[in-house]
Amino acid sequence: RTTMKRLRAFLVLLGVWALCHASLHRHRQRAGKEGQVLHRSKRGWVWNQFFVIEEYTGPDPVLVGRLHSDVDLGDGNIKYILSGEGAGTIFVIDDKTGNIHATKTLDREEQAQYTLTAQAVARDTNKPLEPPSEFIVKVQDINDNPPEFLHGPYYARVPEMSNVGTSVMQVTATDADDPTYGNSARLVYSILQGQPYFSVEPQTGIIRTALPNMDREARQEYDVVIQAKDMGGHMGGLSGTTEVKITLTDVNDNPPKFPQSVYPMVVSEDRVPGEEVGRLKAKDPDMGDNGLVNYRLVEGDGMSVFELTTDSETREAVVKLKKMVDFETKRSYTLKVEGSNPHIDPQFLAWGPYKDEATIKISVEDADEPPVFVAPSYTFEVEENAPPGAVVGRVHAKDTDVANNPVRYMIPRYTDVEQFFTINSDDGLITTTRPLDREAQAWHNISVSATEIGHHQDTKVRVNIRVKDVNDNPPEFATNNEVLMCESVNTEPAGCVCVQLIETVSAVDKDEMAHRQHFTFSLAPEVAHNHNFSLKDNRDSTASIYVLRKGFGRLTQDVYHLPIEISDNGVPALSSTNTLTIRVCSCDSKDTILSCNVEPYVLPAGLSTGALIAILACIVILLAIVVLFVALRRQKKEPLIVFEEEDIRENIITYDDEGGGEEDTEAFDIATLQNPDGANGFLPRKDIKPELQYPLRPGLGRAAANSVDVDDFIKTRIAEADSDPTAPPYDSIQIYGYEGRGSLAGSLSSLESVTTESDLDYDYLQSWGPRFKKLADLYGTKDCSVADADDGEDS
């Protein structure tokens, strides 16, 4: 490459020398003709352009050209001046000779030309001798830039199975050299890698397929290398390369194919519809929609038992159970399935068919099935009020397995909460446990469970039991409304009796109302001959009530109760007596009811005024007796009984009379503390109700009954309290044994001193005077009476 550059530089210099020589020759010709021309020609000072080769690397500056003026006689009086682009830096001029040299290496790709201005002036005066002349120094191009692919690497796609010559893409390279000078920028394209699959057009760079039937399933991607070379592709030209990655896109050129011709599957007879039996898949090497496969059942004896769906994720054909299978009925099924492409390319239609078939053989496995009832449900009837043990009906289930195990029956309790029925576990016979009432519940819906002996699986069946009606309910009024009647009744003569219709009554029966059932009405025997009302049976299960007289006194009697007997025609016939309430009201002249007396008299029809007066008299006498009894009781000085709210404890607490001391035996009546019930040896408790009564020991109650000795009375009450085992001692007299906490003085209670062992010395009571003499005798020394009481308690 360096040799080529030097050769080009030599040729350029040779061209520059030729130009200078031609210019000198023209100058000499003009000088020979000076004598013939009056005015000097200025054409010797006209410059167009100079050339300098780029990338010159010689040791000396490159001579670009020479400036020369016609007035230059060679004596050195003319000075040449250079100005413009690069003057003084890139280009320098010899001011005596006018030679221009390039002092630096020039690159045409950086700047292709330079514009300069030449001027000739007198050396001594700098007076312009020639007008300024502008010229161009053009950088001569050499092939120093290789072609470049600015947008590489490239990616392209082409359908598989494309015809030869199918355009893939176009690549373009650029060359920075001068395209107008020589062949430095004339490019030629060629393929270095990717043959024999692809080719490239040399002038345009268009890549095309070179082989037919390129299959994506065999190879999908190709790496192609394209070269661009300048100098028209000749030797010595520069080149550049780029990589093109070409991908084959998919077309539907492959039909689906099942890997197996026969697919065996197994299903158990206990599987339920909707469960999966097995899967199969046809392989299609195509991609996307081209590789989709649709499945369908074509034929077979299991078309109604099985169904085929497609898994949206795995694209597998899923065989599912459509109906339950039975091992004892049919043990195998055969299906034929077809897989086909839904999207077919017409260009490759001749390569079909785009479908495949396979056979599915399904075997049914035996499973332990629960028993099966011979009927899907049962409906039985039983008469109401039938005695316990009445037969309702029989259910039957059998084991369909080969073993044919025996079956046991039961009624789940949650279906018969009140346990109206029971079932024989061996034969399935359902019976009642107690009489049934149709009016309470007309239907009983229960379930019966059947289980194989030794197995846990069971089957349930619905049993509907209808309770047949019997005539066990008497008829009654359809409504219980009162009948309102005016005081002045406008009766109409009927024969010899004046009557008026005031009400029509009807009846209902809780029993089933049969088509021919009807009711009869009549007045009760006790009012059959009353003079106020009458009844007429209309023979259509209704009756009419008539008034027999005109006037009624609302103040005398405003309510009448008319008992009416109603009978049905059932077997057996039943009847009941129902009371019709008739209320007398005040009406105006148009028989519009104004008001009714709401005070009822529960009396039979036709009650007289004398009876009412007698009843009122009895009530007054009873009230007088009660008032007299209360008045007599208040006059008594002593209470007859001790009421529950009145207690001895209250009497003692509220008693505040100090009396005359221990010598005053009249200040307090000891009889107040004595309970009259204790005289018989039995003292009831008022605070609790004992379960057992424990009689007191003989003699305790009687000993203190008439005694006025306080000491004896207290000992008696202590003994009574201690001998009562039913409750803690609630007796009020015992509460005085506690005087409180923190007192400087000891307790004065006779109870505590008698029932407990005390070390206190009470001899100082002797010095307190006659008022405390009794206490000093009781507590100063232990007398024999206290000791005897202690001995009695110990015994």
Tens of pLDDT along 335-394?
999 999 998 888 888 787 889 999 999 999 988 778 889 999 999 999 989 999 999 999
> Is residue 232 assigned to a domain?
yes
The answer to whether position 449 is within a domain reads yes
Query: Looking up tokens 């049934």, which residue turns up?
Result: 436
Of the three residues 140, 156, 186, the one that is the final residue of a domain is 140
The reply to whether 189 and 281 lie within a common domain is no
Structural contact between residues 714 and 738, judged by C-beta atoms closer than 8 angstroms: no
The predicted structure's pLDDT at residue 728: 59
**CA-CA distance, 630 to 612, in Å (whole number)?**
28
Which residues form the domain of 541? 476-595
359 and 288 belong to one structural domain: yes
- pLDDT at position 54 is 77
- Residues 174 and 203 both lie in one domain: yes
Do 361 and 376 lie in one domain? The reply is no
- Cβ partners under 8 Å of residue 374, min gap 6: 396, 397, 398
Per the CB < 8 A criterion, the answer to whether 473 and 508 are in contact is: no
CA distance 739 to 547: 85
Using the Cα atoms of residue 154, residue 158, residue 164 and residue 169 in order, give the sign of their dihedral: negative
The answer to whether 435 and 387 have CB atoms below 8 angstroms apart is yes
- The answer as to whether 740 is a domain residue is no
Task: State which of 595, 621, 646 marks the end of a domain.
Answer: 595
Q: Which two tokens stand for residue 389?
A: 């043990």
Q: Is the residue at 761 inside a domain?
A: no
pLDDT at position 480: 82
Output the pLDDT for position 668: 53
Asked if residue 705 is part of any domain, the answer here is no
Residue 208 domain-assigned?
yes
Indicate whether 361 and 275 sit together in one domain: yes
Residues 133 and 154 reside in one and the same domain: no
Q: How many domains does the chain have?
A: 5
Give mean pLDDT in consecutive 10-residue pieces for the chain, a chain of 795 residues: 50 49 48 42 63 76 84 84 88 87 83 88 88 86 85 93 93 86 86 94 94 92 94 87 95 92 93 94 91 93 94 93 90 94 86 90 88 93 92 91 83 93 94 91 93 84 91 85 81 57 89 77 90 90 89 83 89 88 87 70 54 88 91 66 46 52 54 52 49 46 52 82 64 49 53 52 75 76 43 40
Query: CB-based contacts of 162: which residues, under 8 Å, 6+ apart?
Result: 209, 214
Q: DSSP of 506-575, one letter per residue?
A: EEE-SS---TT--EEEEE-GGGTT-SSEEEEE-SSSEEEEEE-SSB--TTT--EEEEEEEEEE--SS--E
Do 329 and 304 belong together in one domain?
yes
Domain assignment present for residue 355? The answer is yes
Contact indicator for 113, 42 with CB cutoff of 8 Å: no
Q: How much is the pLDDT for 660? A: 54
Residues 576 and 480 in one domain: yes
Distance CA 584, CA 487 (A): 6
Q: Whole-angstrom Cα distance, residue 428 to residue 407? A: 9
Is the distance from CB of 118 to CB of 78 less than 8 angstroms? no
Q: Which pTM was predicted?
A: 0.42
Using CB atoms within 10 Å of the CB of residue 141, give its burial: 0 to 12 exposed, 13 to 18 middle, 19+ buried.
Answer: buried
In DSSP terms, which residues pair with 479 in a beta bridge?
Answer: none
Residue 665 CA to residue 667 CA, distance in Å, equals 6
Residues 191 and 94 in one domain: no
Confirm if 570 and 619 have CB atoms less than 8 A apart.
no
Domain end marker among 595, 620, 642: 595
Q: To 10 degrees, what angle do helices 784-794 and 710-722 make? A: 10
- CATH number of the domain to which 320 belongs: 2.60.40.60
